[in-house]
Amino acid sequence: EAGVAQSPRYKIIEKRQSVAFWCNPISGHATLYWYQQILGQGPKLLIQFQNNGVVDDSQLPKDRFSAERLKGVDSTLKIQPAKLEDSAVYLCASSPKYEQYFGPGTRLTVT
């Protein structure tokens, strides 16, 4: 069974630029999550989708972050414009019911 795929794996941008991350969850998993992990900390949820609907986006900085899940499968997370404090690993996870399966993450560096 293929795991959660994410791209790109690494991205370096300058502050005020835009960036987008892509996630392909495990086939059949209805729930998809985006987490942000700052160096030295545990992951923090940004947004949770159930199929293509948003379940929880309470911790998503909506003035600069946006996310969508088209047709209830793939998802993209966008940051526009990026700030220095957005430097982190962005993790995508999907879940069939109980456990979550994480992708390898995208490491974003904002300079």
Partner 1 sequence: DAKTTQPPSMDCAEGRAANLPCNHSTISGNEYVYWYRQIHSQGPQYIIHGLKNNETNEMASLIITEDRKSSTLILPHATLRDTAVYYCIALLTGTASKLTFGTGTRLQVTL
Contact characters 64-93, partner 1, x per CB under 8 A: ---------------------------x-x
- How many residues bind partner 1 (CB under 8 A)? The answer is 26
> Is the separation of the CB atoms in 14 and 79 below 8 Å?
no
Tokens, residue 44: 């923090």
CA dihedral 104, 99, 55, 18 (to 10 degrees): 0
Q: Is position 33 an interface residue for partner 1 (rule: CB under 8 A)?
A: yes
Work out which of 39, 41, 63, 71 binds partner 1, going by CB under 8 A: 41
C-beta of 48 vs 75, nearer to partner 1: 48
C-beta of 35 vs 86, nearer to partner 1: 35
Rounded Cα gap, residues 98 and 23, in angstroms: 20
Closest by Cα among 22, 44, 9, 17 to 110: 17
Q: Is position 63 an interface residue for partner 1 (rule: CB under 8 A)?
A: no
Helices (H), the chain: none
Neighbours of 5 (CB within 10 A): 14
Q: Is position 1 an interface residue for partner 1 (rule: CB under 8 A)?
A: no
Write out the residues near partner 1 by the rule CB under 8 A. Answer: 4, 30-31, 33, 35, 41-45, 48, 50, 56, 91, 93, 95-105
